[in-house]
Amino acid sequence: MLLKFTTAAAAVLLSSSAFAHASITPSTAMAGASVKVAISIPHGCDGAPTDKVTVVVPEGFVSAKPQVKAGWQAEVATGDYAGSYEVHGQPATSGAVSVTWSGGSIPDDQFDEFVLQGTVSSDAPLAFATTQWCGTDSVAWDQIAAAGQDAHALEHPAPVLKVTAAEGGPHMHRDHGATPDMAAMPVTAGDLEITGAFTRATLPNAPVAGGYLTISNSGTADDRLVSASTPAAGISQIHEMKMEGDVMKMNELPEGLVIPAGGSVSLAPGGYHLMFMDLTGPLVEGGSITVTLTFEKAGTVDVKIPVGSPAAKGPAMDHSMHSELVTVRHGDLA
């Protein structure tokens, strides 16, 4: 899911600039490393100077903090991470989720850099969705290239930090957070198909965890995910993370989540997701939890969700039959 930061009067950027797109330096970092990354804003907006910049800190870039920048004020928005991490032997479950710099000026014919320091707790690429403001106009550098797509072909690509395996240490697997036989198989309920389900291992005393999956609707009518529950948690809710003004906020969706006819909705880190609170115990890597999803039309379905590593960005890719549909109940479709 792409984060959007647009206004009715989106600025027209200078495509011929030598720094046409927002970029990140370095472009590659090692999993587990503490690094400084510089987000480059290539120019102003159609003659107007850039006077504010917001960078969304991606899930997996842990304990982030901005470097002091002369002439600019930095405002850090904090929140809970979707997963639990360990940094220098200490648990990390919350931190900076976005940083906004304001008060300075980048002329239209110049560029500037904004620096963050943090720990790379992922082996998946990290996209730093960035928005620049020129007065009331803004441009969002937030587009993510699809598999096999050239990011340079996008109009406003997000700066992306590629991650390599740690040297001399264990690889921080993106898709192998669960053991190979724990890959979740597609689950169907009426016109709906549920794929790509996973959650993350937690520290022993962590109170919350996130749940992620994709729901596709092949029917001709919208459906709605109205609730979720699991024996692994006292409370389960449907949440959304989004920018409200300059602050990244996480809100419950009490009315549920619409699954459009002929479309799909992804519950993924940094966007829509299931939130499991008051955990009854730690989620252990290689295990699984059973989650009950209730839909307005398709009824109720139980799905075993594999538990990946604390830094997992997706499910295991081996499509065995270990994780399967447990049962479909209330199948009297509306």
Provide the greatest CA pair distance for the chain: 63
45 versus 74: the higher-pLDDT residue is 74
CA dist., res. 163 & res. 152, Å (int): 19
Q: What is the mean pLDDT of the chain?
A: 81
33 — pLDDT class (breaks 50, 70, 90): confident
306 — pLDDT class (breaks 50, 70, 90): very high
Question: Are 23-164 and 180-329 in the same CATH fold?
Answer: yes
Radius of gyration of the chain (CA): 21
CA dist., res. 68 & res. 49, Å (int): 21
Judge residue 228's burial from the number of C-beta atoms within 10 Å of its C-beta, 0-12 exposed, 13-18 middle, 19 or more buried: buried
pLDDT tens digits for range 153-197: 888 899 999 988 764 443 333 333 333 344 556 899 999 999 999
152 — pLDDT class (breaks 50, 70, 90): confident
Give the residue-averaged pLDDT of 139-158.
84
Give the residue-averaged pLDDT of 89-97.
85
Q: Where are the domains of the chain?
A: 23-164, 180-329
**What Cα–Cα distance (Å) separates residue 139 from each residue in 2, 6, 7, 211, 249?**
14, 6, 8, 31, 20
Handedness of CA 67, 72, 73, 79 (dihedral sign): negative
- pTM listed for this prediction: 0.50
pLDDT tens digits for range 190-232: 999 999 999 999 887 888 999 999 999 999 999 999 999 999 9
Please give the CATH topology (third level) of the domain spanning 23-164.
Immunoglobulin-like (2.60.40)
CA dist., res. 162 & res. 35, Å (int): 12
Nearest of 40, 27, 317 to residue 163 by alpha carbon: 27
Question: Which of 16-20, 25-29, 109-113, 285-289 shows the lowest mean pLDDT across its residues?
Answer: 16-20
Residue 243: which H helix or E strand, with range?
A: strand 233-244
What CATH number was assigned to the domain covering residues 180-329? 2.60.40.1890
Handedness of CA 55, 315, 150, 171 (dihedral sign): positive
Cis peptide before 26 (omega within 30 of 0): yes
Q: In the block, which residue shows the tokens 């002439």? A: 71
296: helix, coil or strand? coil
Strands 264-267 and 208-217: antiparallel
- Non-local CB neighbours of 286 within 8 Å, separated by 6+ positions: 178, 179, 182, 307
Whether the predicted pLDDT of 269 surpasses 90: no
Tell me the DSSP string of 70-100.
Answer: TT-EEEEEEEEEEEEEEETTEEEEEEEEEEE
pLDDT tens digits for range 237-264: 999 987 777 667 788 999 999 999 999 9
CA dist., res. 234 & res. 279, Å (int): 6
